[in-house]
Structure 1
Amino acid sequence: MSAASSGLSPRLRKFIGTVLMVLLVLVWALGAMALAQGRVTVLPGYLQFVAYVILGIGWILPAGVLVRWMQKHDRRQETL
């Protein structure tokens, strides 16, 4: 099995992950703002609190999956 067919290099994986992370944060922030200004304002206070907590920290789960993928060990054989 050649090195090219074993997967992405760690450097490329981290670059792609960084770009995806920036896009995730931008899209999440814009979506959260749109929901917070529209639908959340008509909810009772306790549900507003829950919605703001979810909208504020909900991006952490997909970001964690992305970071785990970025940190995945290189499948190529290491040379000494």
Structure 2
Amino acid sequence: MSEPSWRKPFGMFLILALIVIWSVLVLLASPLIERLPALVQAVVYTFLGIVWILPLKPLLSWMETGHWRKF
């Protein structure tokens, strides 16, 4: 049996940190976003709610393999 990798717990920490940082950034941008019409706000918040997921694919790959990209 192989020794557990430190990448998985560290990767979980990075994911949580990403969520917290992204949430704070969106919170700081909310005074600007709230000036927009309601329908535009919905689109912006939907986009911001999805875009944070983009860095997860390479991070999850690194957690599993130790490489940022699969070659």
Task: Say yes or no: TM over 0.5.
Answer: yes
Residue 49 of structure 1: CA displacement?
1.4
Does residue 1:63 correspond to 2:56, yes or no? yes
Percent of aligned pairs with the same amino acid? 34
- Rg (Cα) greater in structure: 1
Structure 1: runs of 5 or more not aligned = 1-8, 75-80
**Runs of 4+ off more than 4 Å:** none
Letter in 1 for 2:38: G
Q: What's the TM-score, normalizing by structure 2?
A: 0.72
CA RMSD of aligned residues (A): 2.3
Superposed, which structure 2 residues align to 1:16-55 within 5 Å?
A: 16-36=10-30, 38-55=31-48
Give 3-state SS (helix, strand or coil) of 2:65's partner.
Answer: coil
- Structure 2: tracts of 5 or more residues without a match: none
If asked which structure has higher relative contact order (CA below 8 Å, sep 6+), I would say 1
Partner of 1:13: 7
